[in-house]
Amino acid sequence: MPGDALSQDPAELRRRIDTTKAHPARVYDVFLGGKDNYEVDRNAAAAALAANPRGYLDVRHNRDFLRRAVTTLTRDEGIRQYLDIGTGLPTQENVHQIAQRIAPDSRVVYVDNDPVVLAHARALLTSGPEGRTDYIDAALEDPGQILDAAAKTLDLERPVALALVAILHFVEDEQAYPIVRELIDALPSGSRLVLSHLTEDLNPENIRAVQRTYTERGFTFVLRSRAEVERFLTESGLEVDEPGVVPAHHWRPDGAAPVPEQPEPGYLATLDDIEKVRYRDINDVTDADINVYAVTGRKP
């Protein structure tokens, strides 16, 4: 039944949530201006921001790439099914809200292995009546389990857009390439891959400084080159869509990134650097800021 993952025992869920260690989903939530994070996550975000003071632009432009990719695929390419692995904590604009605004019958399956995301997953199960959403509590490293569970909501005989957005840097090469191949192999012709990935090609000094703050906290943090990112598509037999593998802010910009409302200047002055992030306008960006590649591809 859709939503099965949510029936997990609350006590067991609480046991799985470690508030003494930063978690990627919650650190990412800090940068998106969310509230579902703990002090340890805000400290990790603050360390990353100290290492790269405009680093919030990587996070926010990554998220805006997802918005543009889902918009384009739903509006222009007829995609009605999404499998979003490494969903992150729910935000204002999740994949199903973006897709169902254009095509109410869109179906979206979310997958994440963080218990905090599971604890908030109800906010992802707010599909309109014509569409469907589900949430799977699983790891990317288990593509078989993901595909079996996703098949309860998605028709795997019809095209699916697989979203792997800012997740593959948590997985080493030996696993990452075969996992992507296995997932794509299970999808029919016309399916898509929506992929973003951190890189040291663009502004190596600032991303290496950020990388140190993550590896010190025990995270895997693999930076991949343009060719290594493209390999995820070519090795899986995908055709790369225009404009190819590009810095996230150059992937089909549409000038529609949400601009946050500005508070009183006096109030802004009372906030620390991390709290100010939620009020930053991401249109204030240059090539010297971005360390994320974005690309989509199509299964012929």
Ligand X SMILES: C[S@@+](CC[C@H](N)C(=O)[O-])C[C@H]1O[C@@H](n2cnc3c(N)ncnc32)[C@H](O)[C@@H]1O
Q: Which of 36, 64, 112, 228 binds ligand X (CB under 6 A)?
A: 112
Q: Which of 4, 141, 155, 235 binds ligand X (CB under 6 A)?
A: 141
Q: Which stretch binds ligand X (CB under 6 A): 86-94, 151-159, 184-192, 247-255?
A: 86-94
Phi, psi of 92 (to 5 degrees): -65, -40
Q: Quick check: 121 and 135 in contact, CB under 8 A?
A: yes
- In angstroms, give the least distance from the CB of 264 to ligand X: 29
Residue at 228: amino acid letter: E
Task: Pick the closer one to ligand X by CB: 62 or 100.
Answer: 62
Task: Judge residue 200's burial from the number of C-beta atoms within 10 Å of its C-beta, 0-12 exposed, 13-18 middle, 19 or more buried.
Answer: middle
**Could you say whether residue 34 binds ligand X (CB under 6 A)?**
no
**Could you say whether residue 143 binds ligand X (CB under 6 A)?**
no
Residues 11-30, mask of contacts with ligand X (x by CB under 6 A): -------------xx--x--
Let me know how long the chain is: 300
- In angstroms, give the least distance from the CB of 100 to ligand X: 18
**Could you say whether residue 88 binds ligand X (CB under 6 A)?**
yes
Task: Judge residue 63's burial from the number of C-beta atoms within 10 Å of its C-beta, 0-12 exposed, 13-18 middle, 19 or more buried.
Answer: buried
**Could you say whether residue 165 binds ligand X (CB under 6 A)?**
yes
Q: Which of 36, 41, 58, 114 binds ligand X (CB under 6 A)?
A: 114
Dist CA 296 CA 161 (whole Å): 9
- In angstroms, give the least distance from the CB of 59 to ligand X: 7
Return the bridge partners of 83, or none.
109, 162
**Could you say whether residue 211 binds ligand X (CB under 6 A)?**
no
**Could you say whether residue 155 binds ligand X (CB under 6 A)?**
no
Task: Pick the closer one to ligand X by CB: 67 or 105.
Answer: 67
Query: How would you label 107-134 residue by residue, b for 16+ Cβ within 10 Å and e otherwise?
Result: bbbbbbbbbbbbbbbeebbebeeebbbb
Dist CA 122 CA 135 (whole Å): 9
Which positions touch ligand X (CB under 6 A)? Answer: 24-25, 28, 62-63, 66, 86-88, 112-114, 117, 139-141, 165-167, 170
